[in-house]
Structure 1
Amino acid sequence: MTITFLGTGTSQGVPVIACECEVCTSTDTRDKHLRSSVLVEAEGKVIVIDSGPDFRYQMLRAGVKHLDAVVFTHEHKDHTAGLDDIRAFNFVQQEPMDVYATERVQQSLKQEFAYIFAAFKYPGIPQLNLHTINNNEPFNVGALQFTPIEVMHYRLPVLGFRIGDFTYITDAKTIAPEEVEKIKGTKILVINALQKQPHISHFTFDEAIAFAQQIGAEKTYFTHISHRLGKYEDVSKELPEGIELAYDGLKIEVAPPQPSPGERV
């Protein structure tokens, strides 16, 4: 299973418009963060988790020629705004795109992209097959199983996902004990680490480190990074062993999920 970080930034991205801080003016490409999203390639499927406002450019930059599904964590614009651009895949693949989201997120998509769901289908609009995620039930995209993990983004429930030994979580501030149990044993953990200062709806740098150490994955990557966290080169020196900052374009290999005993493969 190959994971590609398409974007590792927070809602404003980095650099931030009109900002002249040392991070936003850095020449290190690892300090340039598009909005958070990952590409998952496994079991013959190519899947994107979240399609934010940078989705089009992320697909072009990563050279994605085929996409099987989009899986949404929640409805905020930095995670959904690029949905219209799936129409390019509709045209090339000549089929609707499978989209996985909770009922609440689906309602938000229907409001934000009303033209997609209108009774009159304007020529060329995106074509979707909606699939409903139930928070407590694993679901499959082809043979690839996703286990939803509910976290709280202030008062908004957001889903992370565990796929075999890989767990991906953005926009978390608190995680209930029963949800933490779903994460334990994962070998690769991705978690948000917004900034060093206190924040109402995101893990801070220290909170993310503490959570990573609680889980004890072999490797943890921080994502959903703001310009207030600091420069990649400086922050990396502050991280404990086994924890790294993710950056746009980073690829990691994870052992593919193993079928349960007796499961058909």
Structure 2
Amino acid sequence: MKITLLGTGDAPGTPVIGCTCPTCTDAHNGGRSKRTRSSILIETEKGKVLVDTGPDLRFQLLGSGVQYIDGVIWTHTHYDHFAGFAEFHRVQYNVDVYGIKETLDYILEYLHYMHPQRHEVRMYTPFLLIGLEFTLFEVVHPPAKRPAGVIIKEGQKKVVITGDTQRNISSRSLEVMIGPDILIADAIVPPNVGVKKHMNSKEALDLAREIRAKKVVFTHLSHYFAPHDVASNELPLGFDGMEIDI
């Protein structure tokens, strides 16, 4: 299994329009602080699956050389996690899309002019794609209705993607998250910046310790961190195009 973090930014992306902070300046200059919106590519010899399809998906797929996908899993209904699916219009038809009923209802009404193949799944119920076992689990990200994280298994290997979430994840979800080889965690800001709907970096590290993750990578990152090459000396920040072989 190969994982590529196509987009590691929060909803505005980095650089933020009109901002000249050091991190946005680094992004303007082509540094790793440049972050597009959320999308993760999962690959095996049997195919390619996207977890979320952020608004920058066209550029992400062109940049990574991906020409065809075998499925999309949507974690929740926020624009920065699904709007890029429109880039498949007149490119690839009848795409298989997966998510819980509430998520699919909302997104496919928005994308009413497209006709993907809808697959409703239930929280905590595994399903198979490209030779991998996927499971959605419930997280906390108001006001999104029933947002999900994603567990991916291949044999004894296990990956947990938190999706967008606060730290107060339910005990049922924490139980199924235990012991991943890698945790890809929402960590939108440093702890000195107030945030309500997401984990900060301290909370994400605390979650990694609680579920005994062997490795953690932060995503959904804002420009409130120092420039990437500085902040990554102390924190496990992901970056756009980061590849992880499991």
Partner Cα distance (1:234, 1:75) in 2:
33
Specify the SS of the correspondent of 1:3: strand
> How far is 1:222 from its partner?
0.2
TM-score, length of structure 1 as denominator length: 0.85
Choose which of 159, 173, 177 in structure 2 pairs with 1:179: 173
> How far is 1:234 from its partner?
2.2
Contact 1:170 1:223 (C-alpha < 8 Å) held by counterparts? no
Partner Cα distance (2:230, 2:83) in 1:
32
| Counterpart for residue 258 of structure 1 | none
* 1:204 matched to 2:196: no
CA gap 1:115/1:220 in 2 versus in 1, 3 angstroms: same
| Counterpart for residue 237 of structure 1 | 233
CA gap 1:89/1:20 in 2 versus in 1, 3 angstroms: same
Contact 2:50 2:73 (C-alpha < 8 Å) held by counterparts? yes
Partner Cα distance (1:158, 1:245) in 2:
23
| Counterpart for residue 166 of structure 1 | 159
> How far is 1:246 from its partner?
0.5
Name structure 1 gaps, 5 residues minimum: 117-126, 255-265
Specify the SS of the correspondent of 1:56: helix
Partner Cα distance (2:124, 2:45) in 1:
23
| Counterpart for residue 145 of structure 1 | 133
Partner Cα distance (1:61, 1:88) in 2:
19
Choose which of 188, 191, 195 in structure 2 pairs with 1:194: 188
* 1:213 matched to 2:215: no
Q: 1:196-221 CA deviation, whole Å, 9 max, x = no partner?
A: 21211000111111111222222100
| Counterpart for residue 11 of structure 1 | 11
CA gap 1:43/1:133 in 2 versus in 1, 3 angstroms: farther
2:198 maps to amino acid: H
| Counterpart for residue 120 of structure 1 | none
Contact 1:43 1:144 (C-alpha < 8 Å) held by counterparts? no
Partner Cα distance (1:47, 1:111) in 2:
22
- Aligned ranges 1:245-256 → 2 under 5 Å: 245-254=237-246
Partner Cα distance (2:22, 2:2) in 1:
32
* 1:53 matched to 2:55: yes
Name structure 2 gaps, 5 residues minimum: none
Choose which of 110, 113, 117 in structure 2 pairs with 1:112: 110
2:89 maps to amino acid: R
Q: 1:163-218 CA deviation, whole Å, 9 max, x = no partner?
A: 11111122110211110111111111100111121211000111111111222222
| Counterpart for residue 222 of structure 1 | 218
Contact 1:66 1:89 (C-alpha < 8 Å) held by counterparts? no
> How far is 1:142 from its partner?
4.2
Larger Rg over CA atoms: 1
Specify the SS of the correspondent of 2:43: strand
> How far is 1:158 from its partner?
1.3
Runs (4+) off by over 3 Å: none
Choose which of 61, 79, 86 in structure 2 pairs with 1:77: 79
Partner Cα distance (1:88, 1:211) in 2:
41
1:64 maps to amino acid: V
Partner Cα distance (1:214, 1:34) in 2:
29
Instruction: Indicate the percent of aligned positions where both proteins have the same amino acid.
Output: 35
Paired residues in the alignment total 236
Contact 1:169 1:192 (C-alpha < 8 Å) held by counterparts? yes
Partner Cα distance (2:24, 2:187) in 1:
17
